[in-house]
């Protein structure tokens, strides 16, 4: 029984460590992609601005870079999340757009020769914010990777959410519904309390087993001494 409990605790720890490491790898890839996207965006903007002709209001667009940026703009915009959104106010405040997706709306302006310094700076700032936040997340995840308590919490959360993932795999729950359940505050609270109770209960059981074994050994030694 004690061995089974030890194996269960070890399994939860192993699952949690795998989840944290997988998350760290994902954020590292996200960071590398964001840096590559920013570098290419800067090349596109510099090339356009340096070749801009004020007489005909045109600049040269590097088609190879522009195509790559456009192909990957949905991915980077998704990664940016709220960091890539803003309230956009048009020239002379003629109109206002809430939840304006900066990168998606900025890129076509290069081809249409409608790009302004504000658009370029807003895009670069959004990418910088995203890179900074991602770097911070990587720093925290590296610390989590050295913390067995975090492993246990994440492993238990994964096991607790297994029925939800199972419903998602069978198509009963959508991806968005699954994410809402897993990220729900109540679910996280239950997972945290459950992980704590399971961890403490397992340790108590293991410690009690150790004390029982030591007590048995002590009694055996007393019997031998009496004889």
What does the pLDDT read at residue 226? 43
Considering the domain architecture, whether residues 215 and 111 belong to the same structural domain is answered as: no
Dihedral sign computed on CA atoms, order 196, 201, 206, 212: positive
pLDDT at residue 133 greater than cutoff 70: yes
Considering the domain architecture, whether residues 123 and 22 belong to the same structural domain is answered as: yes
Domain-embedded: residue 156: no
Considering the domain architecture, whether residues 137 and 169 belong to the same structural domain is answered as: no
User: Tens of pLDDT along 167-190?
Assistant: 888 888 888 888 788 878 787 777
Considering the domain architecture, whether residues 167 and 199 belong to the same structural domain is answered as: yes
pTM over 0.85: no
Considering the domain architecture, whether residues 133 and 36 belong to the same structural domain is answered as: yes
Distances, alpha carbon 88 to alpha carbons 52, 92, 103, 104, 121, in Å? 24, 12, 12, 13, 13
Domain-embedded: residue 54: yes
Dist. CA 125–CA 67, nearest whole Å: 21
Considering the domain architecture, whether residues 90 and 173 belong to the same structural domain is answered as: no
Domain-embedded: residue 217: yes
Triad 134, 136, 142: Cα angle to 5°: 100
User: Tens of pLDDT along 77-120?
Assistant: 999 999 999 988 876 667 788 899 999 999 999 999 889 999 99
The answer to whether 100 and 85 have CB atoms below 8 angstroms apart is yes
What does the pLDDT read at residue 225? 46
Domain boundary among 147, 175, 193: 147
Considering the domain architecture, whether residues 135 and 166 belong to the same structural domain is answered as: no
130: domain range? 2-147
């Amino acid at each position: 029984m004690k061995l089974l409990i030890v194996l269960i605790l070890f399994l939860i720890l192993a699952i949690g460590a795998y989840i944290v490491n997988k998350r760290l790898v994902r954020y590292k890839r996200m960071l590398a992609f964001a840096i590559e996207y920013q570098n290419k965006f800067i090349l596109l903007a510099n090339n356009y601005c340096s070749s801009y002709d004020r007489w005909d209001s045109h600049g040269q667009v590097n088609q190879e870079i522009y195509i790559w940026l456009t192909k990957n703009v949905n991915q980077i915009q998704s990664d940016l999340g709220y960091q890539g959104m803003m309230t956009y106010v048009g020239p002379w405040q003629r109109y206002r757009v809430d939840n304006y997706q900066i990168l998606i709306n900025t890129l076509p302006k290069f081809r249409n020769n409608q790009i302004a310094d504000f658009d370029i700076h807003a895009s670069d700032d959004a990418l910088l914010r995203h890179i900074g936040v991602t770097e911070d997340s990587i720093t925290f995840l590296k610390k989590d990777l050295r913390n067995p308590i975090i492993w246990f919490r994440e492993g238990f959360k994964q096991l607790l959410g297994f029925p939800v993932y199972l419903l998602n795999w069978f198509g009963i729950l959508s991806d968005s519904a699954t994410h809402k359940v897993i990220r729900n505050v109540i679910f996280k609270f239950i997972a945290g309390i459950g992980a704590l109770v399971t961890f403490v209960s397992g340790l108590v059981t293991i410690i009690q087993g150790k004390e029982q074994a030591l007590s048995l050994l002590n009694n055996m030694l007393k019997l031998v001494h009496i004889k």
